[in-house]
Structure 1
């Protein structure tokens, strides 16, 4: 299961990139990307359904408290990312935010924003299962492997956003810290839904803002 999850997420971010690259047009690429994320989501959720079901039962018992905690985690991530980016600029490093695909017209941008919204909503499931579940949490009982995989999973989480930053590794460093924060959440809670919901809130915010701007323009 661990090997398959790594292969699925690797295809999602590398093989998927190659597949999307052969499709012409921003809208077609967005649809292809959604399809790839959906396949990865279905495979990993099915594979880890027992863990997801068991953890959800525990998470649901205090759902409102847990959602508030997820919102707090989202706020910490937002402030933390901006703080890390600011600190990096103070030492002369050029750091970019997520680079969105360019489009040729306002109508195209609106359509692509709507179509592209599915992938970020599915990504928290596959990413948390792979990076926090497979790469990190199963090693937490080991005093040697645990800290090593904490670092490895955090760096890998940042690097997997290669496409979002057009390969600018410096710009991925704040996401490595975000990966470390997610690993810390899973280590302390032992429940993957705390990670998924916090990650989902983080990914949903720019989508909601984009859709708000879309319908108020």
Structure 2
């Protein structure tokens, strides 16, 4: 056999490096994806403005955008815009969309671990909130969800915050950003921290206390993304967190 001939050593196959955007490529495409998400969200509100025959200006968009139905449509429209932008970035690299984003189903053990960790983090922050006499949910979110319930937009808001928002944000943060940055000089720890910071920035409508809670949850999601190798896991955990918050606030909150 040729493999036993010392004059003819066996051929070695050099693995092809994965086609991944590294630090700056991921950062620039991340800005593009975020802009696409924003345009999609504004487009949803603009659609309602046009349907009502209002002038297409900033005042009309702000007026309509405060309504629960408009906000639900806005968040929902951000999802397809995000997916298209991410698909374009990955397509240019000629990589697999599924593999790039790690769209693989987690095991039940991984799902259980992720859920238990999330519950412990939420309970810890809830305990701190009560000890400080703070609201467990931002007041404006409580008003929005209850207004949506009273105006017949409960299911729209439930879908927007429990399905569309988790998918959009996870595809961007723990999907695209984590994938590229973890393959750069940042490695896994840096990718988890930086993607969690940027995910927190997306929630600047909250005060510093709630932003700290968001950041801690983001770190846990990032760790579970690394541990499981599954973006679906963080999407499910994110959806579980938002679903619980929406249901408790909308129907059970005082």
The normalised TM-score by structure 2 is: 0.61
Q: How many residues align?
A: 200
2:97 to 40, 51, 58: 51
Q: Distance in 2 between matches of 1:20 and 1:53?
A: 38
The residue aligned with 1:70 is: 111
5+ long unaligned stretches in structure 2: 1-28, 46-57, 88-95
C-alpha deviations, 1:69-127, integer Å up to 9, x for none?
A: 3354233213212314545777x795752332527x88953624333212112111110
Q: Point out which structure has higher relative CO (alpha carbons under 8 A, 6+ apart).
A: 1
The residue aligned with 2:192 is: 150
The residue aligned with 1:136 is: 178
The residue aligned with 1:205 is: 244
Q: Distance in 1 between matches of 2:85 and 2:230?
A: 17
Greater shift in the superposed pair: 119-128 or 134-143: 134-143
Q: Distance in 1 between matches of 2:231 and 2:61?
A: 30
1:81 to 119, 122, 139: 122
Q: Which has the larger radius of gyration?
A: 2
Q: Distance in 2 between matches of 1:157 and 1:98?
A: 18
> Residues 93, 193 of structure 1: CA spacing in aligned structure 2 closer, same or farther, 3 A cutoff?
same
Q: Distance in 2 between matches of 1:185 and 1:134?
A: 15
C-alpha deviations, 1:43-92, integer Å up to 9, x for none?
A: 22344465348844x42xx7xx44x63354233213212314545777x7
The residue aligned with 1:174 is: 213
The alpha carbon displacement at 1:207 in A equals 3.7
Structure number with higher helix proportion: 1
The alpha carbon displacement at 1:37 in A equals 1.9
5+ long unaligned stretches in structure 1: none
C-alpha deviations, 1:169-203, integer Å up to 9, x for none?
A: 22210110101111111122222111111111222
The residue aligned with 2:232 is: 193
